[in-house]
Amino acid sequence: MATEMAQPDAEGIDGVRMTWNAWPRTKVEASKCVIPIASSIHLIRPHTDLPTLPYVPLRCKTCTAVLNPFARVDFQALIWICPFCFQRNHFPQHYSGISETNVPGELYPQFTTIQYTLPSQNPQSFNPNPQNPLPESSVSPIYLFVLDTCMLEEELEFAKSALKRAIDMLPDNAMVGFISYGTQVQVHELGFSDMSKVYVFRGSKELSKDQVLDQLGLGSAGGRRTGGGPGMQKGGGQIGVPNLGVTRFLLPASECEYTLNSLLDELSTDQWPVPQGNRALRCTGVALSVAAGLLGACVAGTGARIMALVGGPCTEGPGTIVSKDLSEPVRSHKDLHKDAAPFFKKAVHFYEELAKQLVSQGHVLDVFASALDQVGVAEMKVAIEKTGGLVVLAESFGHSVFKDSFKQIFEYGEQSLGLSFNGTLEINCSKDIKIQGIIGPCTSLDKKGPAVSSTVTGEGNTTAWKLCGLDKNTCLTVFFDVSSSEKSDPSGNINPQLYIQFLTSYQSPDGQTKLRVTTVTRRWVDAAVSNEELVQGFDQETAAVVVARLASYKMEMEEDFDATRWLDRNLIRLCSKFGDYRKDEPSSFTLNPSFSLFPQFMFHLRRSQFLQVFNNSPDETAYFRMLLNREGISNAAVMIQPTLTAFSFNSLPFPALLDVASIAADRILLLDAYFSVVVFHGMTIAQWRNMGYQDQPEHQAFAQLLQVPHDEAQAIIRERFPVPRLVVCDQHGSQARFLLVKLNPSATYNNANEMAAGSDVIFTDDVSLQVFFEHLQRLAVQSS
């Protein structure tokens, strides 16, 4: 088990990967391991072997953990012993027929992950946080579209056609609402079909939730009801919601499709005059406040999404990120570092408050930003992440990155993202394990307990988290502490196994309430006696991703945090601890295969867009980090260290080194850098293509060679959300930079005379991987 990278599905049915698969028993030994003990979990990833049970799970009466294959069962006495708290629990009467040859599904040893469909009568009995009631089963998805109209006519047409296509793809019972905004906010009353009826809000004024409701006629005077009570109606397969707001502003797609399409046809760009040298007045903050208030009045506690299509920066009202004067640029990383961005902190505070409101209502904010300049994703990040929203950043609403990504959200069947709502995650652990927190798209529910660590990383101080929105790709990183300072129990009763249980309850795309239970076990090891088991259990791919997420988090949370220095120090400590070498002899240094790829990951992480913010806007950096924090390990590893495949006449496609030496004149390279997919043609290949050889019958092999990388690129693009940017370029062309920036600069202008013919050089002062390794070896073997 040198590395799990070679395994086709390293996560298996559980969707869990850990940095260390054998855990040091004491806090001191854990700190010596350098890489934190952390687990990545794919919460609701589909799996062919995952069983779904149609009944209520059995819970331990002391710690509320769910019955699982690791529980000890006494079939004679009909008792099961909880592996977490050792409580003896009696099986209920309807389990009386169980025996060693007739066990229920949740006790099958291969079903360490199992799913329960919860009945609608009493969904709260399985909710780890009763203050946030789960929705009833079989409810409809709710989409509130928010469209920016301060853009060019052509851009608005692209956005409108994407919305029309989306509405057409929605299931008939999906509830739809529509808000447009520019200098002012227009809430469209779709239920008033005789004519276009619009409620207008001033964009310059900060509105309280009650002011929004009063103006919409949904305040207390208008008889507002806030979701979930006995006054709810259930007719025609529709969600139980109060009549007043829903029949006016949120309608089933089947009823309002014609009205909405007509409304979009008539919608024009914002008519407010924009003086010369000024930006358009755009009130994104007020529009999102109004949207949150409308959903809060109509469907609080029921899963709903605000889908905002934003075409530029907010310049009016709360959430403003830049002044109206075009001579003042939008804030850069340098401005943020120097505290020279006057609007930033106020805008972030506004979105933090909006996030709290949306989380309390159980609603999601999705942002689709398409503009050549920044739109404020860096400020909105807190609201998007805390609600589990989706984010797509593109240059235009006509670009495939936006169009194809937006379409993918509404796909059903195999291509579906599996968008789910109102999730709650609860974690149970063995006695000596504490939870520091989670990095990823969730919010702490502040549920205290003995498993809460005093050290906080990410969303901490809790054992339960809220996920307003989650999908089949949503992945969280949980950081753990080992609390024991003793190596052994004086009584000698040491359990060599530790247990962790993840309980995820959520409203699935088909409207049912489900509970997924994943219980995993790992071994405790005494690292003071031997490192061997610890070393064999190290997952270097997971470790690289966890370190990347932690470094990105620290860069945002800690002022003047030097990420490169922190990475280097930790890598040197790790190699000193687990490398084999003779002191002060760099040439004697070797790394166990379990660690051999890790330094390479760190080399590419140091140069990645997550740490190097130069040449990236704050919006781009926020976008990259949000996706790094929510994607699975294999996808996140590609973000850090892209994959390179070479295509040539002489051989089958093969993985090439991520090095400038892989460039050859007679070769096509396919780079998958996650956010972009690059098809790069060598010089000779490009010349042959320009001469049209591929169109000649005798050169069919060449035509095929040109086509195969494009087919591979399309296969990658189809599998991914957001859709990556496709770049097709030639050696020495301007777009070749998309490839060159990701390659190890083993050939630079300093040693260009050593190059092979047809290869390339990179004009950089960055050190190469080889020089990086040499420095690492020298520092790792130094006597401390």
pLDDT in tens, 694-714: 888 888 889 999 999 999 999
DSSP-derived letter for residue 292 is: H
Name the DSSP letter for residue 281. Answer: -
Is the pLDDT confidence value at 134 over 80? no
pLDDT exceeds cutoff 80 at 383: yes
Supply the pLDDT for residue 528: 74
Please enumerate in sequence order all residues whose Cβ is within 8 A of that of 603, keeping only pairs 6 or more positions apart, or say none: 744, 769, 772
pTM for this model (two decimals) = 0.91
Whether the Cβ atoms of residue 220 and residue 300 lie closer than 8 Å to each other: no
Q: Phi and psi (nearest 5°) for 27?
A: -60, -40
pLDDT at 758: 56
Residues in the chain: 784
The pLDDT tens digits of the residues spanning 552-603 come to: 999 999 988 999 999 999 999 999 999 999 998 999 999 999 999 999 999 9
pLDDT of residue 6: 38
Q: Residues 758-772: pLDDT tens digits?
A: 566 666 667 888 899
- Across the range 476-496, mean pLDDT stands at 72
Q: Does residue 201 contact residue 215 with C-beta atoms inside 8 Å?
A: yes
Tokens found for residue 754: 């050593």
Q: What percent of the chain has pLDDT over 90?
A: 70
C-alpha 639/C-alpha 115 separation (Å) is 31
Burial of 587 (0-12, 13-18, 19+ CB in 10 A): exposed
For residue 232, pLDDT over 70 is answered with no
pLDDT at residue number 642: 96
Q: What is the pLDDT averaged over residues 91-113?
A: 92
User: Quick check: 531 pLDDT over 90?
Assistant: no
pLDDT of residue 243: 42
Tens of pLDDT, residue by residue over 412-467, are 877 789 999 999 999 999 999 999 999 999 999 999 999 999 999 999 999 999 99
Distance between CA atoms of residues 471 and 508, nearest Å? 9
pLDDT per residue as tens digits for the range 45-71: 999 999 999 999 999 999 999 999 999
DSSP string computed for 479-506: EEEE----SS-TT----SEEEEEEEEEE
Average pLDDT over residues 114-129: 58
Q: Which of 3-7, 119-123, 393-397, 451-455 has the weakest average pLDDT?
A: 3-7
Give the whole-angstrom CA distance, residue 571 versus residue 562. Answer: 14
Average pLDDT over residues 253-273: 91
Give the pLDDT mean for 105-114: 94
Least confident of 176-190, 226-240, 368-382: 226-240
Does residue 260 surpass a pLDDT of 70? yes
Identify the pLDDT of residue 762.
Answer: 65
In this prediction, residue 484 carries a pLDDT of: 74
pLDDT score, position 244: 61
Are 489 and 431 within 8 A, CB to CB? no
pLDDT of residue 221: 44
pLDDT tens-digit profile of 135-192?
Answer: 344 578 899 999 999 999 999 999 999 999 999 999 888 999 999 999 999 999 988 7
User: Do 486 and 508 meet the contact criterion of CB atoms below 8 Å apart?
Assistant: no
Nearest to 40, CA basis, from 673, 631, 443: 631
| Residue 173 confidence (pLDDT) | 85
Q: Residue 482: how many CA atoms within 13 Å on its side-chain side? A: 24
pLDDT of residue 71: 95
pLDDT tens digit string along 660-684?
999 999 999 999 999 999 999 999 9
Dig out the tokens for 690 from the structure. Answer: 């320009």
**pLDDT higher than 70, residue 488:** no
Is the model's pLDDT at 719 over the cut of 80? yes
Q: What percent of the chain has pLDDT over 70?
A: 89
39 φ, ψ (degrees, to nearest 5) = -130, 135
Say if residue 608's pLDDT is above 80: yes
Q: Mapping DSSP to helix (H, G, I), strand (E, B) and coil, where does residue 192 land? A: coil
Decide if 458 contacts 472 (C-beta within 8 A): no
Q: What local confidence, expressed as pLDDT, does residue 651 receive?
A: 86
First and final C-alpha spacing in the chain: 31
Rounded to an integer, the average pLDDT of 497-516 is 93
CA separation for the pair 414, 658 (Å, rounded): 32
Pairwise pLDDT comparison (427 vs 133), residue with the higher score: 427
Closest CA to 18 of 46, 1, 41: 41
Lowest mean pLDDT: which of 142-151, 340-349, 522-531, 623-632?
A: 522-531
| 368-384 mean pLDDT | 95
Alpha-carbon gap, residue 607 to 613, rounded angstroms: 10
Who wins on pLDDT, 484 or 742?
A: 742
Least confident of 242-246, 495-499, 701-705: 242-246
* Alpha-helix residue ranges (DSSP H) falling in 241-332: 243-249, 253-266, 284-299
Q: Which two tokens stand for residue 222?
A: 């208008």
